[in-house]
Amino acid sequence: MASEAKAMQSSTSSTTTTKRPYKWISNIKEHAELIAALFSGILILVAWLTNTIVSEPTSITLYVLAFLIGGFAKAKEGIEETIENRDLNVEMLMIFAAIGSAAIGYWTEGAILIFIFAMSGALETYTMNKSQKEISSLMDLQPEEALRLHDGQEELVHVSELSIGDHILVKAGERVPSDGEIIKGKTSLDEAAITGESVPVSKELGSEVFAGTVNINGSITVKITKPANETLFQKIVQLVQSAQSEKSPSQLFIERFEGTYVKVVLLVVALMMFVPHFAFGWGWQDTIYRAMILLVVASPCALVASIMPATLSAISNGARHGILFKGGVHLENLSHLQAIAFDKTGTLTNGTPEVTNTHFRSGNEKELLSIFTAIERESNHPLAQAIVRYGENQNVQQHIEVYDMTNIAGSGVTAKVEGKQWKIGNADFVGREDAFEFEGGIGENLAAEGKTLTFIADEDGVAGLIALKDQIRKETKDALQSLRESGIYTVMLTGDHDTTAQAIAKECGINHYIAECLPEDKVEQVKLLRESFENVAMVGDGINDAPALATANVGIAMGEGTDVALETADIVLMKNELPKIANAIKLSTKMNRIVKQNVIFSIGVIMLLIISNFLQMLNLPLGVVGHEGSTILVILNGLRLLR
């Protein structure tokens, strides 16, 4: 895993603009292990079908090719890990069992054993590579160059050349290249890449800004407060890589178990080749024959089939119903969940602000809404766009001329309409006292509900206000209710202020909420949840959610989320349907029940075959039938999950 993390680190620091003229060659290399496993399966099928037609040497040659092609990757991995860790593993047992089967003339059984193990390894490798592949896309959101100010001159430099204390100029529409503090100017910043919140944040002198955020309007001068490699944005990348490199308890248990299992089987087989001859007077031929049978029936082929077909069937079932599982481990963990943390924006809510309330001077509501809409149509601010959509839906007057439009960064806009001067913006811009006295203080009540207020004023004072809010999804309440009924504790993590967070949490019916969370705060909250609950899931859709998604036992991303969130998560809700989480948990519970049945059955059959072999009641063909028959039965039981 350490080498994988280093590879990921190097890939994120390299350029992503280089075109590959032979991309198809790269794709073949990426999927080489899977292609080899499938080709070995074809060779096995051909050899089995033509066994009575072609000569025996030809058939054996096909099996040998299947052994070499299908088993090469896992054999190489097993040998390298054995040398590196000085400990045997299941890969080595597979090799020995397959060779043992071939040595006593059962080429088909040995080849099938190799094929099953090769397929599982290829799928595991493919999934791992796919989940790590897109981490480098994070770096596209952080500029590589910055406009540094030095002795009154502008100098374009690489972000790595910036030092603490340097002054940089960030123009409207540009991304902030490094963390810092505004020392000149005021603006609004889109901080969705950091906090995930859809509403831009006003910034003025002394405000902190983060790398990767977008300067919407107004040029600002920023004093660098952190080196480029220590920015909050870089922490997101590092947190994702660190969390992904941590091994799950199940994985650690399997790694410890496989070494012991292989040693025990090989030791028993070695003893079986000598002890019965001297202890029970068996002939050498019979002794070696029984040892070879033991090596075949003790191979964990049925155990492997107990889990993989059931898991793949459940994954296919989920995919048909809009739930994408990236691996069996995550599907298995779902049924053990005790708590789920949710991002707010784009997860519990729609992710875009909508107009919820309008209040205007009595008598001319339609005219004021038309003026409001006409002025906001000149702006590209997300709140302005939401107001324009609302106004157009209300069929406001379309052809109103707007003159002398001026944008006051971080506050609002001024404009002339029909010879009258208008102001649109926040409470401070139009006059806080007048703003919150308007209509008997209705603004304070709306703000307490977590809504964002935009006021319009003329020479006579405040003429109206529009309240906007990121509305919760239609299915959110039912989804959370279903989870609570299942005994799962729910928490909302959001970058919003406490007032907004409290209002949303109350409306959703969530158990608990944490407001004003940066990405690193979300990670810490998930870690705290894991201290209180054994298994915790995180549900999110943004880049800022990626570290928390990777830190949780199970990361769940919304299908319309960012690429980084989708690649970091363990499970993706393809249609953004929160109720699918409860469905996925039920599927996980059913899969775990079937896997448990399969494991108990397969172990029971293996033990029965081993005992029968020791009592000389089992011949090789019957051992193969029992071994392969149990494998087929557990596969069929697993396939029930397709329904």
Active site amino acids: 343
Q: Report which DSSP code applies to 467.
A: E
Q: Residue 18: count other Cβ atoms within 10 Å of its Cβ.
A: 6
Q: Note the helical H segments in 431-579.
A: 432-437, 442-448, 476-485, 498-508, 519-532, 546-551, 563-568
Tokens coding 81: 């890990």
Distance, CA of 595 to chain centre? 25
Specify the 3-state DSSP secondary structure of 527. helix
Question: Which is it for the CA torsion 183, 185, 188, 189, positive or negative?
Answer: negative
Please give the Cα distance from 205 to 209 (Å, whole number): 11
- Which of 231, 53, 10 is CA-nearest to residue 142? 231
Which residue reads 């000598």 in tokens? 274
**Type of residue found at 162:** L
Please give the Cα distance from 432 to 423 (Å, whole number): 13
Tokens coding 598: 């399969």
Tokens coding 261: 């299992």
The conformational region for residue 412 under phi > 0 = left, psi -120 to 50 = alpha, else beta, is left
Please give the Cα distance from 570 to 556 (Å, whole number): 6
Tokens coding 266: 């090989």
- Which of 402, 353, 372, 355 is CA-nearest to residue 462? 372
Q: With beta carbons less than 8 A apart as the criterion, state whether 493 and 511 touch.
A: no
536-540 sheet: strands from edge to edge:
323-325, 571-573, 554-558, 536-540, 339-343, 489-493, 512-514
DSSP characters for 157-224?
EEGGG--TT-EEEE-TTPBP-S-EEEEE--EEEE-TTTT--SS-EEE-TT-EE-TT-EEEES-EEEEE
Specify the 3-state DSSP secondary structure of 229. helix
Specify the 3-state DSSP secondary structure of 24. helix
Q: Residue 64: count other Cβ atoms within 10 Å of its Cβ.
A: 15
Q: With beta carbons less than 8 A apart as the criterion, state whether 79 and 153 touch.
A: no
Question: Which is it for the CA torsion 520, 522, 526, 529, positive or negative?
Answer: positive
Q: Residue 231: count other Cβ atoms within 10 Å of its Cβ.
A: 24
Please give the Cα distance from 555 to 566 (Å, whole number): 9
Which residues have C-beta within 8 Å of that of residue 144, sequence separation ≥ 6?
Answer: 158, 159, 177
Q: With beta carbons less than 8 A apart as the criterion, state whether 406 and 413 touch.
A: yes
Q: Residue 618: count other Cβ atoms within 10 Å of its Cβ.
A: 21
Cβ-count burial 125-164 (b if 16+ within 10 Å, e if not): beeeeebbeebbebbebbbeebbbbeeeeeeeeebeebee
Continuous segment of H or E residues that includes residue 353: strand 349-360
